[in-house]
Amino acid sequence: MSSAESATEIAAAINNAVEQASGPDASISKEEALLQISPHQLEAVLHTGFENAERDVLTSGLGASPGAAVGRIVLTADDAMMATDDVILVRQETSPADVHGMQVAVGILTTRGGLASHAAVVARGWGKPAVCGAENIEIGTDHILINGERIDVGETLSIDGGSGEVIRGALQTTDVDPIPALSTLLTWADEARDLAVRANADTATEAKLARENGAEGIGLCRTEHMFLDEQRLPVIRSMILADTPEQETQALNTLRDTQYNDFVELLEQMDGLPVTVRLLDPPLHEFLPDIDELLQRDACNELDEEGKALLGAAQKWRERNPMIGTRGVRLAWLKPGLYEMQTKALLDAVEQRVADGGQPVVEIMIPLTVSGKELLGIRQRIEAVVQAHKSTVSMHIGTMIETPRAALVARELAEHADFFSFGTNDLTQLTFGFSRDDVESRIMGLYLDAELLQANPFQRLDSRAVIELVRLGVERGRNTKADLSVGVCGEHGGDPASIKLLAAAGVDYVSCSPPRVPIARLAAAHAAITAHA
């Protein structure tokens, strides 16, 4: 069966289910119609695919973001920006410095990283096809080697972000045709589900798509993604490089202005719906150039004064385990003024929206807290900014539950949090002791083939340990605060099997990338219907 036939058949099934459950002569109930369509089937009609044809599959990686892409190979973000036709950006792994090239590429291919890597998360947010962790690819200066075979920059590849296949040459892609009956089916799903569905969105463009897809708010706005274009990276780098408090304050004020404009646009798109703004989370080295590249250039005497300063900063901030190092709330303690700056920018944007007649609904989320005192200290700083600002809009302040410790001490965290949001990507990583950027491409396939794991836990929420931590966190948090709102903002929020587990664990909402919102809406309806049966 070809991709086109599969999509056509699924479209026909959706039309048939809606027709059977419609009108006075309906032969089945709306709930029965909903159960006739699997959430996984929606991917075939929501994303492009390849026509059924012979494929010269060169290698495969992880299908990190669904869809089909065809383009010429480029190896740098700058080359992608200069291209006049469709390109596939091929990198070992991506970083914030690559975002401008990722935006213009039709697809992204990395040799490292997993389903929760930078490339995967960014691509899913944009609905852009991506294959990650294709370890059989070696990247040269003007070519790539796939299993030893040379393919030059400029040659054409096709990538399948669903299957993870990397294919020689150009394959014909299928079109995504609108299905009017799908809107009806999803409306019925909204009536049937208990879980709210929000989106992980960082820009006004993503928020617009999320709302069009039926999102009921933003469950995760990653403010660091607002710093990622070419014009803004130098600003946050100037904050990192600041030698004096005055220089740091100047850089923070510049960042405040850029964040203000972004927040205004984001709140306008989501007017009347909740927007959960996570304060800066990643380790600071992610905003700096790759240290190995800097060292290589330094060895060749190619670094100017700014380059040498960046190398010094990269060496200073480099950590052996950065994802469990100086990031999240720890940055706020280390760099006083950082979270205060973001809060001021958000408050200014809220007041502007009110002045323009809008109805902003805002929640501030503090990442990676592991103790009540740690959370309370930063909350007090944020509240001081809010009080000084004399905002007319009340704001909830909550925290992410990303570590096993945070789930276990949820009682004390709830004393100082208006809401919880489980970051299940990190919670999975820390529960298993799996590096989410390494283990998927290196040993996950082996573990699944040998049935050492039932499923990839970064794709489907672990049904034993990780979900138990979620249950404990919900229960203990609500023992302290009965009306505590609880959400999930990890990518599991868009996986149907995970949604069923999360609904049973008592969360109030799930949040996923904007393109996956329709899938989450249908999956949440399935969970409710089967639970109430």
Q: Would you name the residues annotated as active-site residues?
A: 118, 489
Pairing relationship of beta strands 107-110 and 137-139 according to DSSP bridges: unpaired
Report yes or no: 41 and 52 within 8 Å, Cβ to Cβ.
no
Length of the chain: 533
Q: Which two tokens stand for residue 144?
A: 């790539």
Q: Which helix (H) or strand (E) holds 401?
A: strand 396-401
CA distance between the termini of the chain:
34
Q: Which two tokens stand for residue 128?
A: 């852009």
| Sequence-ordered list of residues with C-beta below 8 angstroms from that of 483, at least 6 positions apart, any chain | none
Q: Quick check: helix, strand or coil at residue 516?
A: helix
Using only C-alpha atoms, what is the Rg of the chain?
23
Nearest to 56 by CA among 175, 151, 153: 151
Report yes or no: 76 and 100 within 8 Å, Cβ to Cβ.
no
Q: What is the 3-state secondary structure (H, E, C) of 472-490?
A: HHHHHHHHHCCCCEEEECC
| Sequence-ordered list of residues with C-beta below 8 angstroms from that of 48, at least 6 positions apart, any chain | 67, 68, 129, 173, 174, 175, 176
Residue with tokens 């007319």: 392
Pairing relationship of beta strands 149-152 and 396-401 according to DSSP bridges: unpaired
Cα–Cα dist 531/527, whole Å? 6
Cα–Cα dist 280/82, whole Å? 31
Buried b (16+ CB within 10 A) or exposed e, 456-478: bbbbbbbeeebbebbbbbbebbb
| 127 φψ region: left (φ > 0), alpha (ψ -120 to 50), beta (else) | left
| Sequence-ordered list of residues with C-beta below 8 angstroms from that of 208, at least 6 positions apart, any chain | 269
Pairing relationship of beta strands 62-65 and 130-132 according to DSSP bridges: antiparallel
Q: Which two tokens stand for residue 147?
A: 């299993």
Report yes or no: 267 and 212 within 8 Å, Cβ to Cβ.
no
Q: Which two tokens stand for residue 276?
A: 């959960």
Helices (H), 300-402: 305-317, 329-334, 338-355, 372-389
Cα–Cα dist 289/311, whole Å? 8
**DSSP code for 285:** G
